[in-house]
Amino acid sequence: MKKFNIYILTILALLNISCSDFLEEEAISTTTADALYSSEDGIESLINACYTSTRKWYGKYTGFLLTEAGTDEFVMGGWAGGYIGFYSYNTNLQGSEGPFNHIWSALYKGINACNAAISRIPSSPLTESTKTIRLGEVHFLRAFYYHLLVETFGPIPIKLDETQSPVLEATRAPVNDVYQQIFDDLDVALTNLDNQITPAGGRVIKPAVEAFLARIYLTRGMDQEALNMANNVINNYNFELNEDFASMWKMENSDANLNKEAIWFVNYTADNNFNDVPLRDALGYMWLWEGGHHGHLWFTPFYYNSRPGLNISLEYDRPLNQMAPSKYTLGLYDENIDSRYKGTFRDTWLANDEENLPVGVTLGDTILHVSNKVLTPEYKNSKPYEILDINDVYNENGALGGDRTMYAHMNKFTDNLRSDVNVIESRRDAIVFRLAEMYLIAAEASMNLNQNDNAATYINEVRRRAAVPGSELDMEVSANDITLDFILDERTREFVGEQLRWFDLKR
């Protein structure tokens, strides 16, 4: 701050401007909120702003830290030391951490925008039918932000009116009161969006409300309601499981509006003029100052480190070496019958640097393989490329060993269509609800209702889709297989990295 003041005084001196001149107010614009939001374009801009805070959580490092770091799915990568508390859950994790401050502020800004929209839409020039739809959207969004806040922080203040002047006191409401407000908002959303069922570029639609209700009914122990709502989404709309799991994550399906499994999503684009681009200096080292999805960064190991013939590329993503899959996660898959291992992780890298190829290696040859198994020295030495087995990558306690820079790459969010390897933003949409989750919500609710046969039926829908072709029967489970541990394992196999795990474990 002292340095900043010196710079300002120096500039004022150089320009021969007095402080009184500098502080003199000048009306740059006479536009007020009341005037802006009384126009159709103005009120629509406010409604669009209600969606902005979804882009501070989904596909962004803050959201990944608060949902994946420190869970059983991921361990700390070699370059993630600045946020060690989120991985260790020890005294390093303090409420003053930047990610907490950032997301608290962002979500309450979203709530305030929703409060403003809810109070201003009724008197706006929108048609009555459009008012109904837009009110449904913003009531959903307010409920959604409160859900993220209450699950992350516990008791929190409830604000239902637009803040137009400084508020100096806040009272935390009990969790049950927050959820009552969430359900009240979702009642409005469900009624107002009754006819809105077609995916609309990330706008909230009725199936999204129902998917959200299924999720929070399960969270609140309302198992029959969760089962009913999940069934409604499964049976009454045109969503389908993709034919093969890996196709969910191919860039040609990255426009979630065209992805038949996506129920609701946060939409991104390669053009930052249409993404939310916060100020860099307001966020410290949060890597949020460029828009777009950032998932292609955080899970990528330093794969090209001292490896002739292998260089950074769009295909293999830009490494930031933050989150490595845990031994638990890697041990969950039987890759002989379950396609989700290969559909989730990159374990093999091919030569792509023609100018630095080792002797005897041609472009496209294997340079590196990272195995999720224990391999014998004889097997590793028999191959003409580098092999790291599970014990090379992890210590006995499950932490990364060695220099902590190389591990299997959770590559669901790879984007090989970026204009350059150093481009941060990705056009990939962040899927918030997809159909597979509805099946697994229905399964968990059925198990809680002592209906294990029913639970197995739902799970087998997901597992058959995930089967290596010809292994569909091998992937099926029976009622005797259904336990809470099995469902948690299955949710990791299906949803690892999709910003759900904190909520699953807390539930």
Q: Which of 275, 277, 279, 326 is nearest to 299 (CA)?
A: 326
pLDDT of residue 282: 47
Angle, alpha carbons 287-291-292 (nearest 5°): 105
- Looking at the structure, tell me whether residues 193 and 57 fall in a common domain: yes
- Higher pLDDT: 169 or 5? It is 169
- How large a percentage of the chain has pLDDT more than 90? 81
What is the DSSP secondary-structure string of 37-90? TTSHHHHHHHHHHHTGGGGGTTTSHHHHHHHTTTSSSEEE-TT-GGGHHHHH-S
- Looking at the structure, tell me whether residues 203 and 318 fall in a common domain: no
- Looking at the structure, tell me whether residues 346 and 421 fall in a common domain: yes
In angstroms, rounded to a whole number, what is the distance separating the alpha carbons of residues 152 and 155? 9
pLDDT of residue 274: 66
Mean pLDDT calculated for residue range 257-274: 88
In angstroms, rounded to a whole number, what is the distance separating the alpha carbons of residues 138 and 160? 12
Question: What is the value of pTM for the model shown?
Answer: 0.91
Give the residue carrying structure tokens 């040859």: 365
Q: Are 433 and 218 in contact (CB under 8 A)?
A: no
pLDDT of residue 24: 47
Does the residue 220 lie in any domain? yes
Mean pLDDT calculated for residue range 249-260: 93
Please check the confidence at residue 16 and state whether its pLDDT lies above 70. no
Q: Which residues contact 168 (CB under 8 A, 6 or more apart)?
A: none
- Looking at the structure, tell me whether residues 197 and 124 fall in a common domain: yes
DSSP 92: T
280: its two tokens: 């860099």
Q: Which of 37, 222, 237 is nearest to 119 (CA)?
A: 37
Does the residue 33 lie in any domain? no
Q: Which of 428, 412, 334, 415 is nearest to 372 (CA)?
A: 334
In angstroms, rounded to a whole number, what is the distance separating the alpha carbons of residues 367 and 308? 8
Domain count, the chain: 3
pLDDT of residue 5: 33
- Looking at the structure, tell me whether residues 320 and 464 fall in a common domain: no
Return the CATH number at 186: 1.25.40.390
Q: Which of 245, 274, 303 is the last residue of a domain?
A: 274
Q: What is the pLDDT of residues 483-495, one digit of tens each?
A: 999 999 999 999 9
Residue-number span of the structural domain to which 458 is assigned: 440-506
- Looking at the structure, tell me whether residues 256 and 177 fall in a common domain: yes
Does the residue 15 lie in any domain? no
Does the residue 8 lie in any domain? no
Mean pLDDT calculated for residue range 55-68: 94
pLDDT bin (cut points 50, 70, 90) of residue 33 is confident
Q: What is the pLDDT of residues 305-357, one digit of tens each?
A: 999 999 999 999 999 999 999 999 999 999 999 999 999 999 999 999 999 99
Q: Three-state SS string across 158-199, please?
A: CCCCCCCCCCCCCCCECHHHHHHHHHHHHHHHHHHCCCCCCC
- Higher pLDDT: 292 or 312? It is 312
Give the residue carrying structure tokens 């501070």: 56
Please check the confidence at residue 26 and state whether its pLDDT lies above 50. no
Q: Report CA-CA distances (Å) from 140 to 49, 224, 297, 305.
A: 14, 22, 30, 46
- Looking at the structure, tell me whether residues 370 and 495 fall in a common domain: no
Q: What is the pLDDT of residues 101-159, one digit of tens each?
A: 989 999 999 999 999 999 999 999 999 999 999 999 999 999 999 999 999 999 999 99
Q: Which of 274, 307, 342 is the last residue of a domain?
A: 274
- Looking at the structure, tell me whether residues 108 and 217 fall in a common domain: yes
Q: Which residues contact 9 (CB under 8 A, 6 or more apart)?
A: none
Helix (H, G, I), strand (E, B) or coil at 318: coil
- Looking at the structure, tell me whether residues 344 and 376 fall in a common domain: yes
- Higher pLDDT: 254 or 15? It is 254
Does the residue 369 lie in any domain? yes
In angstroms, rounded to a whole number, what is the distance separating the alpha carbons of residues 392 and 372? 10
Does the residue 11 lie in any domain? no
Q: What is the mean pLDDT of the chain?
A: 90
- Looking at the structure, tell me whether residues 332 and 223 fall in a common domain: no
- Looking at the structure, tell me whether residues 238 and 292 fall in a common domain: no
Q: Are 496 and 344 in contact (CB under 8 A)?
A: yes
Residue 444 CB-density burial (10 A; 0-12 exposed, 13-18 middle, 19+ buried):
buried
- Looking at the structure, tell me whether residues 412 and 381 fall in a common domain: yes
Q: What is the pLDDT of residues 103-114, one digit of tens each?
A: 999 999 999 999
Q: Which of 428, 463, 484 is the last residue of a domain?
A: 428
**What pairs with residue 349 in β-bridges?**
368
Mean pLDDT calculated for residue range 397-408: 94
pLDDT bin (cut points 50, 70, 90) of residue 387 is very high
pLDDT of residue 377: 97
pLDDT of residue 18: 38
Q: Report CA-CA distances (Å) from 347 to 152, 210, 225, 335, 425.
A: 33, 37, 41, 12, 24
Does the residue 498 lie in any domain? yes
Does the residue 449 lie in any domain? yes
